[in-house]
Structure 1
Amino acid sequence: MRIISTNIGERREIFWKNKTVNTGIFKFPVDEPIFLDKEEVRGDEISDRKNHGGINQAIYGYSLKHYEYWKNLYPNLAWSFGMFGENLTIDDLEETNIHVGDTFKVGETVLEATLQRNPCYKLGIRFNDMKIVKQLWNTTKCGVYFKVLQTGFVNVNDSFELIKSCPENATIADLLIRRKKEKAI
């Protein structure tokens, strides 16, 4: 696996259901290395600290391979990396193969896979179509949250070197399936 794009978002106010909401889901590629800190990407907006950011959700990665699937469903969108709110667009990030606790050396950092991304209404706002939320729940293409064990810079083309494998743990896809059953979506 390697980084295809590093993505940052600024705070954006949106009008949703008769109220103003802040979001950082509108992320776009940047041309310089980004610093992965213990609870966030430095300079990246996290408006909803209850559901994003923090130790176990510091970095969000999404797979380039998943983009083709979604582009077929949403061909009229102005596509760019960061569409899913990810900090790292990764060439071949496969949630069915990554286990909780799997640890990677990436650039100057060490990252540990922790959680699945549970899609919310802000993804629907980004796509200008609320159907995307349920559609994502009905796949295993949720992306991966990472904990930052060693802070530092990462850049485009940095590789993910597996330094610890935890096949005894659930996969990220397994977590999404369990969460979906809990929510009865």
Structure 2
Amino acid sequence: MPVVLSLNVARKTIPVDYARAGATGIDKRPVDGPLRVSPTEAKGTAGSGVAGDSIGDWTVHGGEYQAVYGYAREDLDWWQSELDVPLSNGQFGENLTTQGIDHTTALVGEHWRIGSALLEVTGPRIPCRTFAEFLGQRGWVKRFTQQARPGAYFRVLEEGLIGPGDEISVVHRPGHDVTVELCFRALTTEAALLPRLLAAGDSVPPEVVELVHKRSVVELDS
């Protein structure tokens, strides 16, 4: 049975000179929990959906479609072997470190029941300079992108409590083929895939829908 290995939060942001906002909440640490997860407002107006979790730059992180970030321990272990450095739960900035469930092949729009909360998969994490600097890995953005193990963002459909050891149940799978991996590739290295993301309907973040439409207009004008 898939489970939450750890619930991770940043109790406060840390000041850094490499983040655009001057501070980051990427340094998330495991907590005993459980903690309440709640729906949030649109990006730019709200932070994390996890109680007590801090986010440094609301313009690019947090908000409704990025209320919770999950990463599989199996993928952390793979990176640990590749990088030859220890990686603790939460070190990729994830709120949920999971075991026994694949985030990469999850469908955008899947519903995951975790604890008493209901979460919806909304897409992948896109790597940034802050992520690279925090890990101290040169060329990290390119390397992370090439491997396409991005983890998944979620929005909160039903408020509830999540804690370490909670089971994860996939209670709904939509009828399209838009996976987290496909979405990641479309947003990073294969822009030709962008129109396919619209098949996931309102599970796709508004800024991604806007990007798809803008690209379509450019192609029509060219």
Give the alignment's TM-score, normalised by structure 1. Answer: 0.91
State the match for 1:45 in structure 2: 54
AA of the residue aligned to 2:59: K
1:36 — aligned with what? 37
SS at match of 1:168: coil
SS at match of 1:16: coil
Change in Cα spacing, 1:54 to 1:136, as seen in structure 2 (3 Å) is same
Following the alignment from structure 2 to structure 1, what is the Cα–Cα distance between the partners of residues 148 and 172?
23
Runs of 4+ in 1 over 6 A off after TM superposition: none
Q: What's the counterpart of residue 92 of structure 1? A: 100
Aligned-pair identity (%): 30
Instruction: After TM superposition, list the pairs within 5 Å mapping 1:48-59 onto structure 2.
Output: 48-59=57-68
- Whether the 8 Å contact between 1:4 and 1:157 is mirrored in structure 2 is yes
Query: Match for 2:116: what amino acid?
Result: E
By how many angstroms is 1:99 displaced?
Answer: 0.3
Residue 92 to residue 126, structure 1, CA distance change in 2 (3 Å): farther
Residue 96 (structure 1) shift? 3.8
Equivalenced residue count is 182
Secondary structure (helix, strand or coil) at the match of 1:99 reads coil
Q: Deviations over 1:139-176 (max 9, x none)?
A: 22100000100011101111111111114140000000
Between stretches 68-77 and 107-116, larger displacement belongs to: 68-77
Q: Are 1:104 and 2:106 an aligned pair? A: no
* Stretch of structure 1 that moved more, 92-101 or 56-65: 92-101
Q: Structure 1 residue 95: deviation in Å?
A: 3.3
Counterpart of 1:181 in structure 2 is: 189
RMSD: 2.0
Gaps of 5+ in 1: none
- Write out per-residue CA displacement over residues 4-46 of structure 1, whole angstroms, 9 at most, x where no aligned residue: 01001120001229x8721000001111212111122111011
Question: Greater helix percent: which structure?
Answer: 2
5+ residue gaps, structure 2, are 41-48, 193-222
Higher relative contact order (CA 8 A, sep 6+): 1
| Counterpart check, 1:114 vs 2:147 | no
State the match for 2:132 in structure 1: 124
Rg (Cα) greater in structure: 2
